[in-house]
Structure 1
Amino acid sequence: MARGLVRTYRDLEVYRTAFAAAMEIFEVTKQFPIEERYSLTNQMRRSSRSVCVNLGEAWRKRRYQAAFIAKLSDCQAEATETQVWLEFSVKCSYLDTNTGRKLYKTYDQILGQLTTMIKTAPTWTTQ
């Protein structure tokens, strides 16, 4: 995630990790029961995708450090929400434990990267 190599939000390692995780969630939730379509399935897909969306918005708000940090904080909230949905998915036996653990750890990594970005916000912002 070296700043000198980042030109767009798509260049951020955290974005690439979050996007890949959201796509994996999309794939594994295809097997969830139909009765979960409008609750757990949609909510988990939405929150996982929202991490990426908020990263894109944060990137565009780099002009103002407070706005940048606020959007990164939204990313953290969505990543944590995704972790909660993953827990429910495993407990309801919709998702096998190994896949759930792997995805949960990926979101721990994402949360760590977001925390680092917040702590180093002055190096990312333009003012």
Structure 2
Amino acid sequence: MDKKYNDFRDMSVWQKAFALLVKVYDVCKHFPPEERYALTDDLRRAANSVVHNLAEGYGRFESKDKTRFYKIARGSSYEAMSQLLVADSQAYVNSKQSEELLNDYKQVVEEINALIYFLEK
């Protein structure tokens, strides 16, 4: 954690979360039309929330304030994971895609946890 970030885009966790956001948008393109304002919208919002709360947390000055946004990003990661499980159960994504995305979100959560731990200690 020695690296000083010049911008939130330099954060490894933000980069991973952004790459996941792009994957989520690609996956959602194949959801049925009746999910447009339901699961598709919910999954995209959760994926966006992860990325944007990491960026907002980066922009906060106080450690306590930063961790609040990182914790929201962590929660949104779990929300996206839950929604991916629903998509998998309805065969909107195949199990391989679902597992890959879930594993990617687990890695994001681990990095977010490390950030929170670092800031809170």
TM range (shorter): over 0.9
Quote the offset at 1:5 in angstroms: 4.9
Partner in structure 2 of residue 29 of structure 1: 28
Partner in structure 2 of residue 65 of structure 1: 63
Q: How does 1:11-50 map to 2 (within 5 A)?
A: 11-50=10-49
Runs of 4+ aligned residues of structure 1 deviating over 3 Å after TM superposition are none
TM-score normalised according to structure 1 size: 0.91
Matched AA of 1:78: S
Quote the offset at 1:6 in angstroms: 2.0
Partner in structure 1 of residue 52 of structure 2: 53
Consecutive unaligned residues of structure 2, counting only runs of 5 or more, are none
Consecutive unaligned residues of structure 1, counting only runs of 5 or more, are none
Partner in structure 2 of residue 90 of structure 1: 88
Q: Percent of aligned positions with the same letter in both sequences?
A: 25
Q: Relative to structure 2, which stretch is displaced further, 102-111 or 2-11?
A: 2-11
- Count residues with an aligned counterpart: 121
> Do the aligned residues in 2 keep the contact of 1:89 with 1:95 (CA within 8 Å)?
yes
Quote the offset at 1:45 in angstroms: 0.6
